[in-house]
Amino acid sequence: ASTSQAQAQAKRTDYSGVKIEMLNTKSEIEDQLEAAAKEWGGLTGATLNVYTIGSGAPSTEISARYAAGNAPALIMGDIQDIVTCVKSDYARDLKDQSWAKNGGLTYGYNKDGNLYSFPFCIEGRGLLYNKTAIEKTLGRDWDPSETKSMDDLKKLFDELVKGGMETPVALNQEDWSLGGHYLTLVYEQQGEKLEDGEKYIRALADGSEKIEDNARFKSLFDTFDLLMQYNSNKEDPLAADYASNAADLAEGDIAFWFNGNWAWAETSEYYEDGTELGIMPVPQNDADNHAQEWLAGSASKHVMVDTKNNDEKQQAAALDFLDWLANTKEGNQVLVNKCSLVPAFTNIKEQATNGFAKSIQQAASEGKLFPGILDYPGDQWSTLGASMQKYLGGKIDRAELAKEIDAYWAKQKLDPWN
């Protein structure tokens, strides 16, 4: 493989004079992507301008660029952004690319026999833990596999409090964390297959299911109530500061943080070598469908190649950049070492570089990931994230939260599941 990788690096097509843009919606890797664009540009003569949006749903930015007639050649979005662009016939079919067979078809967006996205990374979420701090506080060994149920977690929290760790867990206040990452566990854990979750959100949309009657909703929100009770930000949960949560976990002031492997970007700034970190499933009492063993994870960011506002040459250059990331040692190092991502491609042998990513890489290789739903409406996490913020802030109770979730889904028109 190394010879063909070396050749791939050496013999890149000349794209001198070609200028393309890439929309980056992972703000934590802005510097790394800009450096990668320069490195690839040096090999091909092309100019790749990476522009990054920090917050807000990518869908707003993408529609604005199409409305203005200047969409970037490479668009990084959430899966639903790609789905929308494919419906409008803006995305290039990528199934002829060599990386398609190495994980592209598994994790990318497929529709009607075509492949429309380059899965940029696999991300997973759950409870981030600091094993070193837990063991130091308890004065004994601890393994995440011993904390499976909500009752186990409650016991552990009480033990940690007794050991002097007053508030063992941090919850974020951001809408994407609450609405996009915690609430969505309810849908994704309806079964082990993608279709289980897809069918469930359609049942919510057509009113044949109400979320308050769902066992998984009850189980996950019993746990959420427990997390709220021991939350390090509970005095003012909606003023929680993301960087402080990262520092608290890395420095061992708390033991757990509900988040995903992307949080390494912030956590690494406070990390001391030798601290054991990882990610475990959110403990809960309903153990059906591997809920206590599997993490939630899938390709979280997808890159598509635009065909509407970019000519053939620009599209070819865009494809070359993706090929460079997936198929050369230098490109692989950008994804794994520089961006600290878990790659979606089986040919990439680089090992994850931190405890969070290692947990996700291991779960992915063992097939222990709940797949992410494809058909979330673009405003799902912002709208229901606002409802979750009200719940976290004590403004509404669980019955009122369930009503807001039901009302949101009742307004959605979803295409029938394949």
User: In this structure, is residue 206 part of a structural domain?
Assistant: yes
Least confident residue range of 47-61, 83-97, 129-143, 316-330: 47-61
pLDDT at 1: 47
Per the CB < 8 A criterion, the answer to whether 129 and 350 are in contact is no
Mean local confidence (pLDDT), 233-244: 98
Helix (H, G, I), strand (E, B) or coil at 259: strand
Residue 416 inside a domain? The answer is no
The verdict on 214 and 82 lying in the same domain is no
Predicted pLDDT at 6: 53
* 131 and 262 part of one domain: yes
Q: Which of 101, 60, 109 is nearest to 304 (CA)?
A: 109
In a domain, 365, yes or no: no
The whole-number pLDDT of residue 9 equals 54
Cβ–Cβ < 8 Å for 414, 375:
yes
In this prediction, residues 22-49 reach a mean pLDDT of 96
Measured CA to CA, the distance from residue 232 to residue 240 in angstroms comes to 9
Q: Which pLDDT value is given to residue 346?
A: 86
The range of the structural domain enclosing residue 106 comes to 2-123+298-350
Residues 193 and 316 in one domain: no
Q: For residue 314, is pLDDT > 60?
A: yes
Per-residue confidence (pLDDT) for residue 353, from 0 to 100: 83
Over residues 67-78, the mean pLDDT reads 97
Neighbours of 311 (CB within 10 A): 10
pLDDT value for 362: 87
Calculate mean pLDDT across residues 21-48: 96
What does the pLDDT read at residue 366? 82
Structure tokens at 276: 């054991």
Looking at the structure, tell me whether residues 129 and 61 fall in a common domain: no
Residues 317 and 385 in one domain: no
Residue 74 lies in a domain: yes
Query: Residue 8 above 80 pLDDT?
Result: no
Q: Does residue 273 sit in the same domain as residue 156?
A: yes
Residue 66 lies in a domain: yes
pLDDT of amino acid 389: 99
Q: Among 6-20, 139-153, 183-197, 265-279, which stretch is predicted with the lowest mean pLDDT? A: 6-20
Q: What is the mean pLDDT of residues 11-40?
A: 95
Distance from C-alpha of 416 to C-alpha of 418, rounded to nearest angstrom: 6
- Residue 19 belongs to a domain with what CATH number? 3.40.190.10
Q: Are 394 and 202 in contact (CB under 8 A)?
A: no
Do residues 47 and 195 both lie within one domain?
no
Mean pLDDT of 137-158: 98
Answer yes or no: do 225 and 179 share one domain.
yes
How many distinct structural domains can be found in the chain? 2
Q: For residue 75, is it within any domain?
A: yes
At 10 the pLDDT is 59
Residues 270 and 317 in one domain: no
Q: Coil, helix or strand for 189?
A: coil
Rounded Cα distance, 36 and 259, in Å? 27
Pair (112, 160) in one structural domain: no
Residues 366-374 have a mean pLDDT of: 87
- Res. 4: pLDDT tops 90: no
- Whether residues 116 and 139 fall in one domain: no
The yes-or-no verdict on residue 117 having pLDDT over 50 is yes
pLDDT of residue 91 exceeding 70, the answer is: yes
Q: Considering the domain boundaries, does residue 357 fall inside one? A: no
Mean pLDDT of 131-143: 99
Residues 265, 136 share a domain? yes
- 240: in domain: yes
